[in-house]
Structure 1
Amino acid sequence: MYLTRWEERAYNGEYGEALAVAMKLLVSVGEVLGAERLIDVAHVHVSGISYDNIGDAGLEFIESLYTMGGRVRTYSTYNPSGTLLGGQGSDGGGFMEKQLRIINALRGMGFTESATCIPYLVLREPRRGEHLAWGESSAVAVANTLYAARTNREAGPVALAAALAGRTYYWGLHLDENRKPTVVVKYSGTPLDELYAGILGYLVGELYQGEIPYIDAPFTGRRSVISLCAAAAASGNTAMCIVRDYSPEDHGRPGEARDKLALTRRDLEEKREEISHADISDAELFYTGCPHHPKSFLQELYSYIAAKAPHGLKKPMLVSIPGVDARDEAVRKVSRALARLGVHVLPGTCLVVSRFRESYRVVATDSLKAAFYLPRRHGVRVVLSTIGEYVAQVKR
């Protein structure tokens, strides 16, 4: 791999041990993949910072970079943690203390307070054509699909190295030739809301792993496209789609494609039944916010539930939002109002990377990303449901 003079010096340790570790990791990965050089990145977003996911080994790696003097060289943010950012949550085996050590090490290295999987909505909007190094799968798919920014899905340690170096390897979706659609998926039916857009994404990810699908379908809005991206990234590691009318890189359906698939509402209904492992009456709670909801969603949710279930819910609802909003007074106020109705807000975390799900066996959700990971990682059965369907079932 070609390295500039500065990169050579950094690689050889002339600018500190932490930077040398980061450079050697980036160069090693890049050379294995065939990258010819490194490129500057405008924003790094690191995944894998929940202690529930990375354990003591991950904690020690992050702290070691901090104690070696590691400091970020570009705008850098991080994914949800394993506990609430208000100082509450499970502390079995020192869980909370170790999670806070991870966050403190990231802060010490210069990471921006974040704890969210939607950095594109609440922190910094990606620009078309700029290079990123993001680790969160759903955010990678959204950045490439809706913003035409350029990022591969980076493993947690590689993204962390990119933050310290301000660079990543020039390969994959950073290159023009790798950003063209390879398969076509045509959906005929009414516009897809967030739930059914997620089901479509789940199906596309399963069928076309490693491909860039061209999605020819109507959607109710950008939230639905985000749901599509998150589901496809979960079920098939899909890092980019071209979505008709939404993707800046949409140049029309490709004339040549390796495969073409036609779907109807019936196909999505059948997939919904296949994914659901129980009946909604068996659900012990409802979970939404995977990916996180922006804080504006909380007021929308309060208005809806106050109108539909003014006496509250018989079973709880959990909502994840970015940790960066945890101290917002308006967020705290609406969170208290929601709590009186049986809805509890989880700032900076989610069921997938935390231990909140340990008390539950059946969870209803409108998130296909959560529906993919909860059964596989935690043995939790899921039921696909809209918020409206759940509220109608459990209102007092």
Structure 2
Amino acid sequence: ALTGKTPEYGFHLDENRKPKVLVEVEAELKGPEEFGALGKIAGEFLEGRVPLIRGIKKADTEDLKSLSASIVTYGGAPLFHIEGITPEEMEAPEEKIKVSRSDIDKAIRDLNDEIDDVDFIFLGCPHCSVEELEKISKLLKGKKVKKELWIGVARPVKKEADEKGISKIIEESGAKFACDTCHVVAPLKGRFKSIATNSAKGVFYGRGKNDFKTFFGSLEKCIEMAVK
């Protein structure tokens, strides 16, 4: 920051950015939760190596955010390339794995514990965007939460949501904002027994740090559990 320069090392070097494993995705992924499941599968196999992911035809910002959080959580992969989506064109490496629909479904099952109900719902791991908050507000409008529902968000995003009237709808439901923090680092052990989340990363830390039983599913399903 003082010199305007950074050491010439790591992923600043083209050689280190080259993928070591080809991940061929044979399933059509739908929603951030399935991208999170892919991150779990790939991360556990990669063990920190850079992948080239092939077979994903489309992905929005929330999908990529979920994949990014999951793939590093479950295996430490610091960088990934997606053919046709990320900007760098890379040659496919020889080593490869295939990810089928049954693999995705199994990963989702593995992220779920056998529980009948949950007492805590957390959305926003990583933090929610304004677009996600707007979606949450539409699902909560005119409803009241029956369980603790926390939403992780950065303060600048919360401010924008305030200005658009989104926060008011969410807070009127009884849901709470957790600004500039996350259940991953919050001292929650012993306060709740179980968590519902749409974050594969959140499941990892919910189990590992707080001994939570976990429900992993879509944002819509998590909201449904909060209000029923």
- The answer for the alignment partner of 1:191 in structure 2 is 29
345, 367, 370: which one aligns with 2:202: 370
- Give 1:227's aligned amino acid: S
CA deviation string 1:288-324 (max 9, x = no partner):
1111112342222111332xxx332322321111133
Cα 1:356–1:261 change in 2 (3 A) is same
Structure 1: distance between partners of 2:222 and 2:130 = 21
Residues 133 and 161 in structure 2, CA contact (< 8 A), matched pair in contact too: no
- The answer for the alignment partner of 2:77 in structure 1 is 238
Give the structure with higher Rg (CA).
1
222, 225, 232: which one aligns with 2:61: 222
CA deviation string 1:120-145 (max 9, x = no partner):
xxxxxxxxxxxxxxxxxxxxxxxxxx
Residues 363 and 380 in structure 1, CA contact (< 8 A), matched pair in contact too: yes
- The answer for the alignment partner of 2:129 in structure 1 is 294
Q: Residue 178 of structure 1: CA displacement?
A: 0.7
99, 110, 115: which one aligns with 1:263: 99
173, 191, 201: which one aligns with 1:341: 173
Kindly indicate which of the two structures has a greater share of residues assigned to helix. Answer: 1
* Seq. identity, %: 22
303, 314, 336: which one aligns with 2:146: 314
- Give 1:282's aligned amino acid: D
Residues 321 and 348 in structure 1, CA contact (< 8 A), matched pair in contact too: yes
SS of alignment partner, residue 196 of structure 1: helix
Q: Say whether 1:351 aligns with 2:183.
A: yes
Residues 325 and 331 in structure 1, CA contact (< 8 A), matched pair in contact too: no
Structure 2: distance between partners of 1:342 and 1:246 = 38
- Give 1:240's aligned amino acid: L
Which has the higher relative contact order, 1 or 2, with Cα contacts under 8 A spaced 6 or more apart?
2
Q: Matched residue pairs, number? A: 227
Q: Say whether 1:383 aligns with 2:215.
A: yes
- Give 1:273's aligned amino acid: R
Q: Say whether 1:274 aligns with 2:93.
A: no
TM-score, normalising length: structure 1:
0.53
- The answer for the alignment partner of 1:174 in structure 2 is 12
- Give 1:269's aligned amino acid: D
- Give 1:352's aligned amino acid: V
Q: Residue 326 of structure 1: CA displacement?
A: 4.7
- Give 2:217's aligned amino acid: S
Instruction: Tell me how large the CA RMSD over aligned residues is.
Output: 2.3
Structure 1: distance between partners of 2:60 and 2:162 = 26
Cα 1:250–1:329 change in 2 (3 A) is closer
Structure 2 unaligned spans of 5+: none
CA deviation string 1:106-159 (max 9, x = no partner):
xxxxxxxxxxxxxxxxxxxxxxxxxxxxxxxxxxxxxxxxxxxxxxxxxxxxxx
Structure 1: distance between partners of 2:168 and 2:182 = 19
Structure 2: distance between partners of 1:225 and 1:381 = 26
Structure 1: distance between partners of 2:124 and 2:19 = 29
